[in-house]
Amino acid sequence: MPTELMERFSRKQWKDCCGKGCKKCEIAQAYIGEYGKKEGLELLNQDRDAAKKGKGAKKGHAKAQKADGKGRKGKKGKKK
């Protein structure tokens, strides 16, 4: 279950986060400040995994639409 802190950061910030709790990471410091070091890092990694899965789910949806014929259609080949 994602925490409310997850929504506070952009997808680009989540992409740059390593999940180890380093001092330069704004996300890790927010989780540690809110929940403490041990629980904060556990929640950080759970939310990090959820952020990654959310991105992958969108790709899967687009592939499903393409298979159904509802996706974006482009023409290939030479123009006549």
What's the half-sphere exposure (Cβ side, CA atoms, 13 Å) at 31?
A: 30
Per-residue pLDDT tens digits for 29-69: 999 999 999 999 999 999 988 888 875 444 445 555 566 66
Amino acid at 52: K
Give me the pLDDT at residue 30, please: 92
Give me the pLDDT at residue 58, please: 44
Asked whether the beta carbons of 42 and 5 are under 8 A apart, the reply is no
Q: Which residue has the higher pLDDT, 20 or 68?
A: 20
pTM exceeding the 0.75 threshold for the entire prediction:
no
